[in-house]
Amino acid sequence: MKALILARREIVEQYSDRSSIIRALFLIALPIALIQLNRSAAAPPNEFILVFALQAALLPAATAINAAAGSFAAEKEAQTLVPLLAAPIRDIEIVAGKLIGVMAPAAVLSIVSLLTYHVAASQRFGAARIAEVLDPVTTLELFGLSVLAILSLGSWVMVVSARVPSQRAAQQVAGLVLAGVVVGLTAVSSVIGNISTGFIIGGVVAVLVSDLVALQLAQRLWNREEAVARL
Amino acid sequence: MIEVRDVTRRFGTFTALSGASFVVRSGEIVALLGPNGAGKTTASRIIAGILAPTEGEAIVDGLSVREHPNAVRARCGLVTDSPSLYERMTLRQYLTYFARLYDVSSPGPRIAELVELMALPAVLDTKLAAFSRGMKQKAAIARALVHEPPVLLLDEPATALDPEMTQTLRELIVSLRAQHRAILLCTHDLDEAQRISDRVVIVDRGRIVREGATEELRSAGRPSFRAELVADETAVRAALSGAGVTIDGLTAGNGRLEVRWSTDDPAENNTRALRALLDAHARVISVNAETRSLEDAYLAIIKESRQP
């Protein structure tokens, strides 16, 4: 499967510099640090624990945003795209390889982040309470939501970054998307106790639709003709 | 091995290639010559299966680039003017990566063979970022050869290389011809084309304006001659004009005259010219046929093609 060969290179490329590793560690550590530093309530409400669990799951998606921004623009800038397009690989394999390369590390980071949060929260609020609030189903749902978000954000950033002229511009796009994620998370955190089930289902459907549209667009932009025309 | 049949490629309203047709056989180096923006890169990308022709057809090793683009890509090795490497990889990782993309069953021995050919075994485990420009270009050529393609497309491969590296590259290309590969060399370096190509295809503004064997193109056009004389300039002009010979150039220096003329009928016109010069009391030091370089031929062909 050539998509996996491409994905492997993408992952190695992303994590071959120290800043990526530091960024990933920081994103994992952030929600843990927040609950450890928050000493205002000895027994906080369940929503509080859930909000930070949501952040722990979703923040690693930020690594996908950065990686997606770099995947097309960096190759264009370094002119490494032509040899890749000259290889006997189908367009769909290129798109799949790029997406797997962007998604897989972010998904792994998300699950590691959730598990680390689980351990840290158990230590802070008691294992029994955390086992009740963050039961395996909830944890899995949070992880599923995170994967959908990674796919959606990664695909959209890839779509936009395919159309910008430089890696710097792509990183600026990534920065804007990241800011949007932070605003979205803050908004969700503030209303998490009052969100109805219908609203949650609607949100998940919206993310799914967004994923499908972004994937279609990404595939069109990674068509050889389109890609070469933009070199 | 490569057959380009009446290929046109448009990008929106811009026509990059218009009705181009040419052939490259196995064991042959064909230079696709032309100024910047002539359509050379577009032609090589169509043959490589990266771009589809808008009209016409390109056949590589018997396969249509339209119908079997992936199979065509598997049969071509493409080298561009920029090495275009993943610089965080070592040479071994880089070649292994492309060997896998090209379905090379056991990359190890092939990579060992290639690095030996390129004289790069000492840097096999060095990151590509540390390579010199020439070494990077060698790595790019090794990448293009990793799957032993029968067709090699070289798009300005010697750009920015020093003369020594250019010479090494030339020798390498010639050795690849000996392995019966069909090689298309896109270049605007006439010296390079003259030294190694068997045939030349000249392209200008997307159109093929001339095609032929390198020697054939050099010798095409009116033969020209140069005479070195000791004589009076006015008398020489009058004598040659009287003999019906049109002077292309006349320079004076160190008490000598150098006269150049061209003619379609040297046997008749040169005899008349010499007789007229001797009658005008000119002392003839030498008369030589001028050898036209590929550059002269190329410039004349491009000039001719641009005439309305």
Written in H, E and C, the secondary structure of A137-178 is: HHHHHHHHHHHHHHHHHHHHHHHHHCCCCCHHHHHHHHHHHH
* Nearest to B139, CA basis, from B122, B114, B164, B105: B114
Size of interface A-B (CB pairs under 8 A): 66
Q: Tens digits of per-residue pLDDT, B184-214? A: 999 888 888 888 899 999 999 899 988 888 7
Confirm or reject contact between A87 and chain B (CB < 8 A): yes
Contacts of A219 by beta carbon, 8 Å cutoff, 6+ apart: A91, A92, A95
| Whole-number pLDDT of residue B220 | 65
| Whole-number pLDDT of residue B186 | 93
Q: Please, are residues B6 and B155 in contact by the beta-carbon 8 Å criterion?
A: no
Q: Tens digits of per-residue pLDDT, A97-144? A: 988 998 898 899 889 888 888 888 888 888 888 888 888 888 888 888
B chain contacts of residue A86, beta-carbon cutoff 8 Å: 48-50, 73, 76, 78
Q: Which residues pair with B257 in a beta bridge?
A: B229, B252
Indicate if the alpha-carbon torsion angle B188, B192, B193, B197 is positive or negative.
negative
* Nearest to A148, CA basis, from A215, A217, A94: A215
pLDDT band at A194 (very low <50, low <70, confident <90, very high): low
By mean pLDDT, which of A193-197, B27-31, B108-112 is the weakest?
Answer: A193-197
Q: What Rg do the C-alpha atoms of chain A give, in angstroms?
A: 19
* Distance separating alpha carbons of residues A52 and A109, to the nearest angstrom: 15
Max Cα distance, chain B (Å): 79
Contacts of B240 by beta carbon, 8 Å cutoff, 6+ apart: B247, B259, B261, B273, B276, B277
Among the partner-chain residues A81, A88, A229, the one whose CB lies closest to the CB of B102 is A88
Report helix, strand and coil shares of chain A as percent, to nearest 5: 85, 0, 15
Whether the pLDDT of residue A22 is over 80: the answer is yes
Q: What Rg do the C-alpha atoms of chain B give, in angstroms?
A: 25
Closest Cα in chain B, distance from residue A128 (Å): 47
This complex has an ipTM of 0.79
* Distance separating alpha carbons of residues A60 and B103, to the nearest angstrom: 34
Q: Please, are residues B287 and B247 in contact by the beta-carbon 8 Å criterion?
A: no
What is the average per-residue pLDDT within B147-176?
A: 87
Interface residues of B toward A, Cβ cutoff 8 Å, are 11, 45, 48-52, 70-71, 73-74, 76, 78, 80, 82, 84-89, 97-98, 100-103, 140, 143
| Whole-number pLDDT of residue B47 | 95
Pairwise CB contact (< 8 Å): A83 & B76: no
* Distance separating alpha carbons of residues A218 and A102, to the nearest angstrom: 13
Whether the pLDDT of residue A36 is over 80: the answer is no
Q: Which position has the token pair 């054939």?
A: B216
Which strand ranges, in their side-by-side order, compose the sheet holding B28-33?
Answer: B76-79, B151-155, B182-187, B28-33, B199-204, B207-213
Q: What is the identity of the amino acid at B4? A: V
Pairwise CB contact (< 8 Å): A86 & B86: no
Q: Tens digits of per-residue pLDDT, B232-267? A: 989 999 999 888 888 888 998 888 999 988 887 888
